[in-house]
Amino acid sequence: MRLRWGKTKRQSAPAPPPAPRPPAPPGLAVDAVQLLGGRAAQQDALDYRLLPGGAFAAAVCDGMGGLNGGEQAARAACAGFFAACGAAVPATAAALEGIARRLDRQVAALRGADGRPLDGGSTLVAAVLGPGRLAWLAVGDSRIGLWRGGTLRWLNRLHNYRLELDEALRAGDLSRAEYEAELPRGPALLSYLGCGGLKYVDAQAGLAWQPGDRLLLCSDGFADLLPAPALAALLAAPQSPPDLAGAALPWLEAKGKAADNASAILIRCQ
């Protein structure tokens, strides 16, 4: 298991790494990366660990840019997920959605050093893996993808304004011209932890988990960093697990100050 931190040539050093984590259970290989990009602070948080019952859990959170306290919100959301998910693989999507709604309330209740509401928020993508099956949960625009048989399938929707624009266009409620006029506002998030009432939650329990599968959890900064061919080459690499930092750093440095925080966890079923 490797945890890597990197930086572009134009930025200050990233925060020191957290304490070492316990190894993944037999049959799993894990790699993780957190890169600062061109941002002044790291507002992503990630963690992975064994649960008391033997399941393996992982989470990536992206603090809301432009909101005060994004870093604190992401840390609280990440820690809160592990506190809420229990000891075993959640059995139903409803149980996972319940976790998301509790975390939304917890993040919305955060206070800053001055005692005022934090005004922060965070996305969340998380997974819990047991023998032969997994459960996953997503809120916001971070991504969770399953690589199987040479194909990457993104499991969750992006909970932003474009989701509603696309639905309205398919339903005939918007003309193509109206759709194109609204599209620049598409990335605006409509559902995230801390908004005080989640509009969208994506979750699935009982998904089959097969030898050779790879599960990628990442912030939008990582998902948007690598072009599709580079991401496919990374996931198809024979080493176990692939080198996330080595693959991402050249693209990060090319973007320079325009690069967002980029965080990812990659889990491979051996």
Residue 213's SS3 state is: coil
Ordered strands of the 151-154 beta sheet: 2-6, 28-35, 262-269, 214-218, 143-148, 151-154
Look-up: residue for tokens 């919100």? Answer: 73
Look at residue 168 and tell me if it is in a domain.
no
**Per-residue pLDDT at 9 exceeds 50:** no
Look at residue 88 and tell me if it is in a domain.
yes
In the chain, how many domains are there?
1
Look at residue 185 and tell me if it is in a domain.
no
**Per-residue pLDDT at 86 exceeds 90:** no
pLDDT band, very low/low/confident/very high, at 117 (cuts 50, 70, 90):
confident
For residue 268, give the H/E element and its range.
strand 262-269
Look at residue 25 and tell me if it is in a domain.
yes
Look at residue 257 and tell me if it is in a domain.
yes
Percent of the chain with pLDDT over 90: 54
Look up the domain containing 144 and give its range: 2-157+192-269
Look at residue 77 and tell me if it is in a domain.
yes
The CATH number that applies at residue 196 is 3.60.40.10
Give Cβ neighbours of residue 149 (< 8 Å, ≥ 6 apart). 212
**Per-residue pLDDT at 22 exceeds 90:** no
Look at residue 183 and tell me if it is in a domain.
no
Burial of residue 224 (CB within 10 Å: 0-12, 13-18, 19+) is: middle
Angle 127-32-34 from CA coordinates, rounded to 5°: 110
- Give 119-168 pLDDT, tens digit per residue: 789 999 999 998 889 999 999 999 999 999 999 999 999 999 999 999 99
Please choose, from the candidates 73, 60, 168, 177, the residue with its C-alpha nearest in 3D space to the C-alpha of residue 124: 60
Q: Give the pair of three-digit tokens for residue 40.
A: 């002044």
